[in-house]
Amino acid sequence: MEHLTLSGSPFEIGVQHGLALQYLIPRVIEQMREPPEAFVPARTQVRQAILVSVERRTPNLVEELRGIAAGAGLPTEAVLDLNLLYDLAPNGVLGPTHCTAIGLPNTTEGPLVAKTDDVALAERSFETMFRLQPQEGYSSLHYAYAGTVWNQGGLNSAGLAIAMTGLPPIGPRRPDGLPSLLFLRLALTCCATVAEVLTLAGNQPLCSWGCTLTMADLTSGDITVVEDTPWRQAIRRENCQPTVRTNHPEFVEDQELAAQVTPAEESLATAEFRANSLARAERARYLTAQLPRSSFGLKQLLADHATPGGVCQHGAAGLHTSIAMIMLPQQRVLMAAEGYGCESYVEYTL
């Protein structure tokens, strides 16, 4: 796995990123490109609407994307499309829906947040660890694909930890919204507390794919879980019991909105993936009741190989765990198995 330390203005951070990974980013773009048969005539119009929204809502991230393209020697449009791909063509690409997140409130180590990323086997080599030191905003440690300004899970210097799990589309697309993975990166850079993330989420609706945020900060020992979708949000706070979230909605269930999802979008939430998500949630909840409520216990949970429902995935439903991370906001520490969750951990400190 590549590890990058990037600093400076948004454009400078992008150029450093592009230069360092210029050998890898074209492969990510090629692998993630939607197949020609998935092209729809409305794509150009949708792309323009999303880009207008992204440029208005997150100009610094757009500057960073332009820097990535310049550093890697690639067309800006190709890097933009990579970063917007899930929301550009939900009928062509299965969305970012494969993760498990656990929150442990009020442990002796403070609140703990853990998660896995589960991806296609060919995508495991795209994962990159970023240590960002921007001119404006909070420094952070987070993971994302090479060539992207995403945040799939991370910790910032204010002591805010965010773990995401993807949700399928619920309701129609909002072209004036933000792609979920860009919103998560924005939150990590701009917010010091869970309360600030909630305010940001209220002002920045999502575009298509939803996400669940499992979060902790230093203002309390609580865990906050937010199901964020383009048209609905649901918030739960827990100060005692563990939380577990996978990739199906549990709080936001709206039949009227669900009925507005197109058949193409609905087809992506296949029975196999939903069964995988349900099994992981059941297994992780069982384990949180059995294992120590500590970073040690979380390592055991993230290494679990039960069938069905193993949190560490080795091919179930075509998914492979590419990162397992544990965040300790109180200590500003991020521990990660940079591969399968059953592998050894490294530790980073902000």
Indicate the CATH number of 99-349 among 3.40.50.12500, 3.40.190.290, 3.60.60.10, 3.40.50.720. Answer: 3.60.60.10
Report the length, in residues, of the chain: 350
The distance from CA 311 to its chain's CA centroid, rounded to whole angstroms, is 17
Please check whether residue 2 is in contact with residue 146, taking contact to mean a CB–CB distance below 8 angstroms: yes
Strands (E), the chain: 2-8, 99-107, 110-119, 127-134, 140-145, 153-156, 161-167, 210-216, 223-228, 233-238, 243-245, 320-328, 333-337, 346-349
- 3-state SS class at 264: helix
pLDDT of residue 205: 93
Please check whether residue 151 is in contact with residue 115, taking contact to mean a CB–CB distance below 8 angstroms: no
- The two tokens of residue 36 are 């020609």
Residue 342, amino acid: C
34 Cβ contact list (under 8 Å, min separation 6): 85, 89, 92, 93
Name the residue among 322, 291, 346 with its Cα closest to residue 120.
Answer: 322
Full pLDDT tens readout for the chain, 350 residues: 999 999 999 999 999 999 999 999 999 999 987 655 555 555 677 778 888 889 999 999 999 999 999 999 999 999 998 998 888 765 445 566 689 999 999 999 999 999 999 999 999 999 999 999 999 999 999 999 999 999 999 999 999 999 999 988 777 788 789 999 999 999 999 999 999 999 999 999 999 888 999 999 988 899 999 999 898 889 999 999 999 999 988 886 555 555 554 544 444 456 788 899 999 999 999 999 999 999 999 999 999 999 999 999 999 989 999 999 999 999 999 999 999 999 999 999 99
Q: Describe the crossing of helices 76-88 and 43-57 by its angle, rounded to 10 degrees.
A: 100
Q: Which residue has the tokens 């390592």?
A: 299
Q: Per the confidence metrics, is the pTM higher than 0.85?
A: yes
Domain ranges of the chain: 2-88, 99-349
The distance from CA 60 to its chain's CA centroid, rounded to whole angstroms, is 19
Please check whether residue 16 is in contact with residue 61, taking contact to mean a CB–CB distance below 8 angstroms: no
Residue 288, amino acid: T
- C-alpha distances in Å from residue 194, one per residue of 9, 39, 159, 219, 334: 25, 38, 10, 9, 18
Give the strands of the sheet with 333-337, arranged side by side: 243-245, 99-107, 110-119, 320-328, 333-337, 346-349
b vs e for 318-340, b when ≥16 Cβ sit within 10 Å of the residue's Cβ?
ebbbbbbbbbbbbebbbbbbbbb
- The two tokens of residue 274 are 């939903």
338 phi/psi in degrees, rounded to 5: -85, 70
